[in-house]
Each structure stands twice: as structure tokens, then as C-alpha cells.
Amino acid sequence: MGDAKIVGLGEPAHWVHEPLAWRNEFFAYLIEKMGFTAVAVEGICPAESEFINNYVATGVGDARAELGRIWLEKLGHYEENWSLIEWLRTYNADQPEDTRVRFYGIDMCGGWVGPAGRALAPLIALLHDMRDPEGVAAARALAAIADVFDIEQYATLAPEDRTRIDVALQGAVQLLVERRVALIERVGDATYRWAVLAAQNARSEAAFLKIATEEQESGALARALETGGTIAAAEMRDRVMADNVEWVLQQLGDDARLALFGHTTHVANWIMEGAPHDCETNLGRVTAMGRHLRQRHQDNSGYGIVGSFAGRSAPIEYYGRYRFEGQEHIPPGDAVVVPTASMRVFETLLADVSDDAYFVDLRGPLPRDVASVLAPGQVVRSGGTLTQCARMRLADAMDGFVFFPRLSPGRYVEPPS
């Protein structure tokens, strides 16, 4: 990774063990041996990561319950993800306060998969703490919209109610700006900055909800899926994640080095397209977060990319449901698409190279057995994102990748009732 300021590591699927376990080892190496100063992950909203960020620095609080609450799609209940948090806490216990590794989320606060209203909590608390009529009124206005601040509820709102969300957020932001000096004196700069972040995240979420709903209602989404056009809401999500990465870097200062983790879908320098079960079918286009970051940071000296892909799979457990090797398409709402021999994608060829996981460096000559199925300049169709396919020149999309011939279920821990 050389001197890269950001290293993005992709996973081929959520909820599986091997990529998460390898991530934990890789990130430990980046931190201990290469001086990386922070970890950031997909699936957690920036404004909601304050508690875990404080926990890995101080060890204070019930972080396990909080991780399960804030990491979308139940990812916080997986032992591999908790192990990462505990490793960061243990590492930091021996570090001076100003060199402790930080932890951040970089995702939307809800998007398609979760309620975003809870991300308003830091902002509502600060407004209440103003202890004047305007602050209390702004806090109440935000509390009134919290329950409808998700994609399902937003779609049921009348136009005037959608406008009410925008007005409430604008009023809160205006108060934060007008009372900045007084608020910092009362609660401190750190608390104020987290509240401002919550406001920024909430405004992004409101814009996302508006775009996603209007795209559905107007038929624009159906047309994009049919013609291979841009999916505006998904495009916005990846752009916002890239913006959130930039925010993290601003918090860390000039010497920051960030270990970034998310789906290979998001971290690679590519444009996603195509159906997961049929890579020759167009399904709309989305510019990945990694493409935004590579453009902003020029090359791998600014943003280094390690993707990961998977071949055949052991049974995958997802909230107690199972899907087995050999399935070519999984109904909506289920977990993972497994590349199979009938899918014309390069994962099915790479699976024949070795029965063990292996790493491929795309910056130089390929190993002979890999070169036999993949040339670094070749345009290939990858189904390895396992949610969409991408047509890309692989050596441009990433600097290297890990290949897992088989996947096994992650260690899901049922939360206390």
C-alpha cells in the first residue's frame, strides 16, 4: 500500500466469515506496522459512530449493545465485527491519548435498509440543551419527524409533510450556525461538531429519501433498470459515502491514514451495472464510492484498493435462513448470490486456480495460473460484488484482490431479548 492515505478493503458479501476474519488481520497489520490512524466502515452512519469511537479510545460504555443497534442489517451482532472493535480497544489501551486509533461509520443513516430518525438524537439533545424557546421548539420539530424518517414511511407522506421535514432540518441547522459560539462554550467543541455532523447526515438522508421516492413514483427507476441508465438514489449513496470519508480525514488531520472497509461493490474504482444472476443483463448504472475517492485522490498513492471475490460457497446463514451452493438466483430479501459455472464471470474461473484463499497483486505480472484466466488489462465481467456486476479493466478497478474459493457463515450472536 506504500504511502496511500486511504486503503479500501472490499468484501464479496456481507454476513460471511472468511472476509471479516481476514479484514481483522489486515487492519491490525496496517495499524501496527504501517501507522494507520483510523478505521471506517460501511453500514454505520457517521453521526451514530460517536459512542463506538469513544469506546475504542476509552473502554467506557456498553459498546456491544450499541454496535448491534447502529450497524445496519444486523452486522453489529456478528462476532467477527465485535472482535474488530475489541482489538481496537485493546490496542488503544497501551497508546497515548493523542495517538489512539479512531473508529467511524461512513454510510447513509438509513437508506433503503433502516430508520434514519435515530441519527437525529445528538442534534435533538443539543437543541434541548440550549434551554431557550427556539431551541426547544426546533428539538420538538425534529422529534416529530423522527418516526417517518425512513424510506417506507416517507413514501406514504403527502407533499406538505415531506416539506415539513425539510423545514424542520433547515430550522435546526440555522440555529446551530447562529448559536455556534454560545453552544461550544456550553457543551464543548467535540459535542458541537458531532451535532453538526448529525445535521449534515440528516439533510443528506432527507435528500436521499426524496430522490429514492420520486425515482420510484415517477417511473425513473424502472426506466433506468430497463435501459441501463443511472440509478439516482444509489448513485447518491456512494457519493455521500465518499463525502463522509473526506469528513473523517478532516477530523484526523494531515497525518491521517484511514483503513476503509465495505462491500467490494463500493470500494472499487468502477461503475456497477448488470443483474447479479445474469451479468449480461443491464440493470442500471451506479458510480462506486471508490471511483469518487480515486478521482479525488488521483491514484493509489492517495487511495489504494484491495478488493475481494468469492467462488463457490458453503451454506450461507442469514438471520436463520439458508441458501446453498449451486443456486443461480436468490429471491429479493435473501442474502447472497453465489457465482456458478453457468454465470459468465471470472470468479468461476479463478475458483479453479486453488482450493485455498490467495492474493493477487495487479500492479505487476500476474502469477501464471491466474494469468491463464485473467490478463490485467482485460475487460471482464465480475459477479463478485455479489449484488451487481461490473464491467471493468480489473487493474484500473483495484490494486489487488483476495480470492476466497469458499465462504462459510459468519458467527451471528443472537442479542439478548
In a domain, 301, yes or no: yes
| Enclosing domain of residue 197 | 117-226
Sign for the pseudo-dihedral over CA of 137, 138, 141, 143: negative
In a domain, 410, yes or no: no
Does 97 share its domain with 200?
no
**b/e sequence 50-68, b meaning 16+ C-beta within 10 Å:** bbbbbbbbeeeeebbebbb
Helix (H, G, I), strand (E, B) or coil at 50: helix
Does 313 share its domain with 245?
yes
Q: Mean pLDDT check: name the lowest of 57-61, 203-207, 405-409.
A: 405-409
Q: Which of 186, 206, 226 is the last residue of a domain?
A: 226
Question: pLDDT tens, 121-164?
Answer: 888 988 988 888 999 999 999 999 888 888 888 889 999 999 99
CA angle 251, 102, 18 (to 5 degrees): 130
Highest mean pLDDT among 197-211, 261-275, 323-337, 383-397: 197-211
In a domain, 354, yes or no: yes
For residue 359, count other CB atoms closer than 10 A to its CB. 12
Does 162 share its domain with 258?
no
In a domain, 417, yes or no: no
In a domain, 25, yes or no: yes
Contact yes or no for 56/103 (Cβ under 8 A)? yes
Does 121 share its domain with 188?
yes
Contact yes or no for 55/89 (Cβ under 8 A)? yes
Does 387 share its domain with 268?
yes
Region 341-345 average pLDDT: 51
Contact yes or no for 294/305 (Cβ under 8 A)? yes
Kind of pairing, strands 102-105 and 38-41?
A: parallel
How far is Cα of residue 23 from the mean position of the Cα atoms in its chain?
14
**294: nearest Cα among 273, 274, 266:** 266
Side chain identity at residue 249, one-letter code: L
Q: Which of 226, 260, 276 is the last residue of a domain?
A: 226
CA angle 240, 244, 247 (to 5 degrees): 140
pLDDT at 385 over 90: no
In a domain, 411, yes or no: no
Q: What is the pLDDT of residue 98?
A: 92
Contact yes or no for 310/347 (Cβ under 8 A)? yes
> Angle, nearest 10°, between helix axes 220-227 and 189-218?
80
**151: nearest Cα among 205, 72, 201:** 205
In a domain, 339, yes or no: yes
Q: What is the pLDDT of residue 409?
A: 79
Does 62 share its domain with 152?
no
pLDDT at 343 over 60: no
Does 219 share its domain with 275?
no
Q: What is the pLDDT of residue 32?
A: 97
In a domain, 412, yes or no: no
33 pLDDT tier (thresholds 50, 70, 90): very high
Does 334 share its domain with 385?
yes
For 264-330, the three-class secondary structure string (H helix, E strand, C coil) is HHHHCCCEEECECCECCCCCCEEECHHHHHHHHCCCCCCEEEEEEEECCCCCEEECCEEECCCCCCC
Q: What is the pLDDT of residue 19?
A: 93
Does 257 share its domain with 398?
yes
Q: What is the pLDDT of residue 325?
A: 38
Does 155 share its domain with 85?
no
Q: What is the pLDDT of residue 379?
A: 61
Domain count, the chain: 2
Is this prediction's pTM over 0.85? yes
Does 295 share its domain with 330?
yes
Region 378-397 average pLDDT: 64
Q: Which of 174, 200, 226 is the last residue of a domain?
A: 226
Residue 319 CB contacts under 8 Å (≥ 6 apart), including other chains: 74, 412
Does 250 share its domain with 284?
yes
